[in-house]
């Protein structure tokens, strides 16, 4: 007998073909095919600027940041003016009291009027300082109301600075020209920053 004879009981058993996977057994996916993401799974965040992507966090434009700093500087100057007016008003009130003691009623009346006017100026300066601080703080989350108020406020400040600048030029004193000139520069930037396209877009941005 030959070992190659299929009828030989002592020969090697014939090789059987691999059994096909039966029903009920999980099929093995090819390793090169990535598993598909099914329904119910969280989608990966998209790239900014594409539909469905996460929007990039906006930052305040540089000109607006400059205007914001200028508003805080202006508020500091207004607070100093308010304190100075109150101090001079107190001095005028002391002069009025002294004039009453010596019978100089005309001087007393003039000192009282000056003291009252200085108190009013001090209150106005304090109110403007509060407005400057409020506008500067609201630049971060304010809307169109803050934008329009800032433009009007900056324009009025620019006009006031121009008037003082012309007065200083007429006097010929450099000290009366430098401060109004700085004030005009601040007013122009405060007015222009919210009016630019980037400033308009900043105040019109969606808030979540």
In tens digits, the chain (208 residues) has pLDDT values of 445 555 555 555 555 555 555 555 555 555 554 545 544 444 444 434 444 444 444 788 999 999 999 999 999 999 999 999 999 988 888 777 776 656 565 666 777 788 889 999 999 999 999 999 999 999 988 889 999 999 999 999 999 999 999 988 888 777 788 889 999 999 999 999 999 999 999 998 887 6
Give the per-residue pLDDT at 51. Answer: 45
Domain assignment present for residue 114? The answer is: yes
Domain assignment present for residue 174? The answer is: yes
CA dihedral 93, 97, 100, 102 (to 10 degrees): -120
Give the per-residue pLDDT at 66. Answer: 95
Integer Cα distance of 143 and 3 in angstroms: 96
Give the per-residue pLDDT at 48. Answer: 44
The number of domains in the chain is 1
Give the per-residue pLDDT at 42. Answer: 47
DSSP state string for 9-62:
TTSPPPPPPPPPP-TTSPPPPPTTSPPPP-TTSPPPPB-TTSTTBPPPPP---H
Domain assignment present for residue 167? The answer is: yes
Domain assignment present for residue 19? The answer is: no
| CA max distance for the chain | 155
Give the per-residue pLDDT at 100. Answer: 60
Contact 66, 189 (CB under 8 A): yes
Domain assignment present for residue 116? The answer is: yes
Give the per-residue pLDDT at 175. Answer: 77
Q: Indicate whether this model's pTM tops 0.75.
A: no
Domain assignment present for residue 29? The answer is: no
Give the per-residue pLDDT at 188. Answer: 96
Give the per-residue pLDDT at 190. Answer: 96
The two tokens of residue 34 are 């990535």
Contact 159, 76 (CB under 8 A): no
Give the per-residue pLDDT at 30. Answer: 52
CA angle centred on 103, ends 102 and 107, rounded to 5° = 95
- Helices 62-102 and 105-138 pack at an angle, to 10 degrees, of 160
Q: Residue 187 belongs to what domain range?
A: 62-203
Residue 58 — φ and ψ, nearest 5°? Answer: -75, 150
Contact 132, 74 (CB under 8 A): yes
């Amino acid at each position: 007998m030959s070992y190659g004879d299929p009828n030989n009981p002592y020969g090697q058993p014939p090789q059987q073909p691999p059994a096909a996977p039966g029903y009920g057994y999980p099929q093995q996916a090819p390793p090169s095919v990535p598993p598909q993401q099914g329904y119910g799974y969280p989608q990966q965040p998209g790239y900014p600027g594409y539909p469905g992507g996460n929007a990039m966090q906006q930052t305040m434009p540089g000109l607006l940041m400059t205007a914001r700093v200028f508003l805080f500087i202006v508020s500091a100057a207004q607070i100093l003016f308010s304190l100075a007016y109150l101090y001079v008003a107190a001095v005028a009130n002391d002069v009025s009291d002294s004039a009453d003691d010596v019978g100089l009623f005309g001087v007393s009346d003039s000192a009282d009027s000056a003291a009252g006017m200085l108190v009013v100026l001090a209150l106005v300066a304090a109110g403007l300082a509060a407005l400057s601080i409020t506008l500067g703080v609201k630049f971060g989350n304010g809307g169109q109301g803050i934008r329009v108020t800032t433009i009007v406020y900056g324009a009025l400040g620019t006009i006031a600075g121009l008037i003082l600048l012309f007065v200083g030029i007429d006097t010929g004193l450099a000290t009366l020209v430098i401060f109004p000139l700085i004030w005009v520069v601040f007013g122009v930037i405060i007015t222009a920053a919210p009016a630019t396209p980037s400033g308009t877009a900043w105040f019109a941005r969606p808030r979540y």
